[in-house]
Amino acid sequence: MPDAVTASTRKVGLIGWPVEHSFSPAMHNAAFSKAGLDWVYLPLPVQPEPAAVEKAVSGLSALGFAGANVTIPHKLSVMPFLSEISHTAQTVGAVNTITVCPNGDAVGDNTDVYGFLAPLKEYETTLEGADALLLGAGGAARSAVYGLALAGASRVVILNRTVSRAEKLVREMREAVGGLRLEVIPLKDTPAAEDCQLVVNTTSVGMHPLTEDSPLPSDFGWRPSLLAYDLVYNPRETRFLAQARSAGAVCINGLEMLLFQGVKSYEIWTGTRPNIETMRNELYQHFAR
């Protein structure tokens, strides 16, 4: 963020409801400051009614915004009001980043898939041809399934409490994931860990305040060669990750996905790479408070 916001300051923001507690303004403004960019990131509370969403999206161009992030509950509801939607956003069925083109068109994209994959980058060799267990079948699971397909995983077993919801996800994503094999089983029938390399939790189980809960049984066979990835970020170390860590598994927490979806949005808007440590520090401090 610049010391003074002027008429030439470029504007981006976060469309959501509520947005008071969002980490995004602090994270992006810290990165703009670090880079010396005359940009500002503003919270943009938009009420849930479709009419409000339509006005907000067209208002971006009218007010000279360069773009916006989109969060709950608007990731789907902005879609009818966009001029174009990227292949990734269509595939996962959600928009979290809007860019306003010079002609005023608002284009929707999804950086959650990038955000999911970026923290796994250093384990790329593990993911190629890998078998994964994926817990959950909601919106976050869609980004994870598509990310794993892009990373060249061979098979994803989706475990969900509501099996029909996971089956729907598979029907809707089958075409987009190419050769990736997708299977569905009930969450309570958790299979042995033997044949998989990665376990991803996309359910909300373990999230504050029910931090003693884990989506996996306590005798799940964690081992050091397994990668555990929890998309829950509050608390940073969930019961799921604590169980994995105590067995020596490699752990990735949910703040990393939040960080990298923001990194990608910043890149799309500014055309430059942000200082990742600055963004990470700001994000981790926000959640430490």
Active site residues: 75
Q: Is 254 in the site for ligand ATR (CB under 6 A)?
A: no
Closest separation in Å from C-beta 27 to ligand ATR: 19
Q: Which of these ranges, 40-48, 170-178, 197-205, 258-266, lies near ligand ATR under the rule CB under 6 A? A: 197-205
Peptide bond just before 186 cis, omega within 30 deg: no
Select 160 or 190, whichever has its Cβ closest to ligand ATR.
160
Q: Which of 88, 107, 83 is nearest to 97 (CA)?
A: 107
8 vs 241: CA distance, rounded Å:
45
Peptide bond just before 235 cis, omega within 30 deg: yes
146 vs 155: CA distance, rounded Å:
12
Q: Which of these ranges, 6-14, 107-115, 199-207, 260-268, lies near ligand ATR under the rule CB under 6 A? A: 199-207
Q: Which of 13, 136, 206, 254 binds ligand ATR (CB under 6 A)?
A: 136
174 vs 180: CA distance, rounded Å:
8
Select 28 or 142, whichever has its Cβ closest to ligand ATR.
142
Q: Considering only residues 221 through 240, tell me which ones interact with ligand ATR, judged by CB under 6 A.
A: none
Select 40 or 141, whichever has its Cβ closest to ligand ATR.
141
31 vs 241: CA distance, rounded Å:
29
Residues sharing a CB contact under 8 Å with residue 103, sequence separation 6 or more, in sequence order: none
Dihedral sign for Cα atoms in the order 252, 157, 210, 75: positive
Residue 151-190 contact track with ligand ATR, rule CB under 6 A, x = bound = ---------xxx--x---------------------x---
Residues that bind ligand ATR (CB under 6 A): 136-141, 160-162, 165, 187, 202-205
